[in-house]
Structure 1
């Protein structure tokens, strides 16, 4: 009996993974929209409580969401364009044309013997940058489609919530509808608390990072701090991406590599505080997922859905953990995902 359950669980899991992999471009926006709809649902209910109809309440909330996200994206595009326009001032052209002399200015080491290797590495980097341009254009198109489709999905999910709930409950046998209700209530509670807590964590990380970079005299400190806060959404990978930008700016604009090391130190301290004090204090045990499974999930979902897949890693794993808690025979999966 146990063997049959195990085989059935493995088959179902394999089907889910394969479906997500081959239909990732379609499913990822739907999954992302589902989590967003769950997060803004209380706000829709608040508008309904003052007498607005469901459709109007949902439309107002979606428009507010679009305005907020659109404003953030516009600010990042504006700041990013500013950085790109100032690249010549940062000495990027000098590094590309004569990397040995440029690096020699930063470090007291004779790099003449490594001249050929350094030029080869820079040339290889240029080729790789040129090679990824077509892929970048495709990714931009996909991002535009994603940003247009998500608000539409969220709106229809909000106005169709009664139908979705009916479908959900009727998928359970009568004797198991109580279990279905418990699963749904726990999912809603956990995710709303998780997203609220994550918002506070992001603001604190952004503030601490900005203060540290300002103290060090790094250009675009506040912009980079906000970026670091937002990239907290992407576990482990986000901090690497957000740290790489100020490290590069420090190397290009400062006369000593100690500034770059200082940037690394700031990010290390902020991440230590975030992981050991800030997140545990604010979020408690709302979403505790095995770190190893998070890393594996980032690799899998990142391959399927890119940055969106990485952002959804913890919510999806937490969802599986909650379901495994209630479904007979899924106890091994719950244990695997638990801390």
Structure 2
């Protein structure tokens, strides 16, 4: 038997080590590129908010209404007709809410200075320490200002009316683009899904893509519809409770509770603070005024701890830490609109992770405390055959 000389063995060992080194370098480069792509996506999302936000809202609205559109199609209504009906109904509902609350909100905007003064007067006994600190801060600022030689330039701040007008205009444009996009998506029926499936070259990939798309639609639409109905019930309960207390414009805070409850964790706190501030300014006694925010917190607590977990179910249960971090991240990127779409984003990402084996670990982390365990796993990718 012929044996290879030692030099040949050394050359083979060197080639094997070089090949392993090159593979490690390729993996390292791949991970670095994936990280850079992720950073680029977040940077793009941050600077392209005005472009991406209406697109995201349009897709979410289409996902929410697609089961209803499909049900109407099975009943004999064409996709185009059902899309026009659903989008028109949604637009009329939003405009009705805005019209019902616009007058009261405009009156409140004129009374904000007076309400601020009343709140300060009623809480004066509780804020002596804060007043002392503010007085000391003012003295320090006066001393620092007296040492300045250059004249101070005062920039005129926009008024509350100007800010509100800009906000309404921006919201109107975003909402209009989202509605038009949702109309086109619903009118196309399953065409958009078929285009996604056709992008995969293998039969296994097509099956997995189709199941993932329909799973995303099913869960996101179920989540958004369920949460919308829950928030509507909460808004009605809050409006009735505040009206019984005698707080003027209680239905406005009911609408606010409906909208703010789409913000996990922080929406209830913001609503309670707003209700508390207005009730303190309106009611004569502080003890009776505190009944409004306390009742608001009780209602939101019952909704968050009992009603929502029971109706949403374990299948859509999410890791609270992941939800909180997602809300913080998208709130930092896009502000309040980003916080509103954070959880639907997380639901979509969780469904994708659960349908692709390399992402199982991430999907398991995003699940709740008692995720639904299944023995089924996605099929392995088969190479395309000639």
Distance in 1 between residues matched to 2:364 and 2:32, nearest whole Å: 18
Asked if 1:45 is matched to 2:70, the reply is yes
Distance in 2 between residues matched to 1:288 and 1:227, nearest whole Å: 25
Residue 226 (structure 1) aligns with: 255
Across the aligned residues of Structure 1 and Structure 2, the Cα RMSD in angstroms comes to: 3.4
Q: Is the 8 A contact 1:24 1:305 kept in 2?
A: yes
Residue 310 (structure 1) aligns with: 339
Alignment of 1:131-142 (within 5 A): 138-142=166-170
Asked if 1:290 is matched to 2:319, the reply is yes
Q: Is the 8 A contact 1:324 1:331 kept in 2?
A: yes
Distance in 2 between residues matched to 1:17 and 1:244, nearest whole Å: 32
Residue 201 (structure 1) aligns with: 230
- The structure number with the bigger radius of gyration is 2
Cα deviation 1:57-102 (Å, max 9, x = unaligned): 32222212211111112222233123334557xx337x1xxx8xx7
Shift in Å, 1:153: 0.7
Distance in 2 between residues matched to 1:326 and 1:128, nearest whole Å: 54
Q: Which runs of 5 or more residues in structure 1 are unaligned?
A: none
Give structure 1 regions of 4+ aligned residues with deviation exceeding 6 angstroms: 118-121
Distance in 1 between residues matched to 2:259 and 2:185, nearest whole Å: 25
Q: Is the 8 A contact 1:247 1:263 kept in 2?
A: yes
Residue 147 (structure 1) aligns with: 175
Cα deviation 1:20-64 (Å, max 9, x = unaligned): 223222112111111111222233334444544432332222212
Distance in 2 between residues matched to 1:303 and 1:281, nearest whole Å: 30
Distance in 2 between residues matched to 1:334 and 1:162, nearest whole Å: 27
Distance in 2 between residues matched to 1:119 and 1:130, nearest whole Å: 25
Shift in Å, 1:209: 2.1
Asked if 1:36 is matched to 2:61, the reply is yes
Of 188, 192, 215, the residue aligned with 2:221 is 192
Asked if 1:22 is matched to 2:57, the reply is no
Query: Aligned pair in 2 of structure 1 residues 154, 92: CA closer, same or farther (>3 Å)?
Result: same
Alignment of 1:109-124 (within 5 A): 111=128, 114=131, 117=134
Q: Is the 8 A contact 2:79 2:187 kept in 1?
A: yes
Query: Aligned pair in 2 of structure 1 residues 6, 250: CA closer, same or farther (>3 Å)?
Result: same
Q: Is the 8 A contact 1:20 1:27 kept in 2?
A: yes
Q: Is the 8 A contact 2:309 2:317 kept in 1?
A: no
Query: Aligned pair in 2 of structure 1 residues 55, 103: CA closer, same or farther (>3 Å)?
Result: closer
TM-score by length of 1: 0.82
Asked if 1:65 is matched to 2:90, the reply is yes
Q: Which runs of 5 or more residues in structure 2 are unaligned?
A: 1-22, 142-153, 369-386
Cα deviation 1:239-274 (Å, max 9, x = unaligned): 122222221112212223223432332132123211
Alignment of 1:7-18 (within 5 A): 10-18=35-43
Deviates most, 328-337 or 182-191: 328-337
Query: Aligned pair in 2 of structure 1 residues 243, 112: CA closer, same or farther (>3 Å)?
Result: closer
Q: Is the 8 A contact 2:79 2:188 kept in 1?
A: no
Distance in 2 between residues matched to 1:112 and 1:33, nearest whole Å: 49
Residue 20 (structure 2) aligns with: none
Shift in Å, 1:320: 0.7
Distance in 2 between residues matched to 1:284 and 1:261, nearest whole Å: 34
Residue 334 (structure 1) aligns with: 363
Residue 92 (structure 1) aligns with: 115
Residue 8 (structure 2) aligns with: none
Alignment of 1:262-273 (within 5 A): 262-273=291-302
TM-score by length of 2: 0.73
Greater helix share, structure number: 1
Q: Is the 8 A contact 1:106 1:256 kept in 2?
A: no
Distance in 1 between residues matched to 2:351 and 2:129, nearest whole Å: 59
Distance in 2 between residues matched to 1:18 and 1:110, nearest whole Å: 42
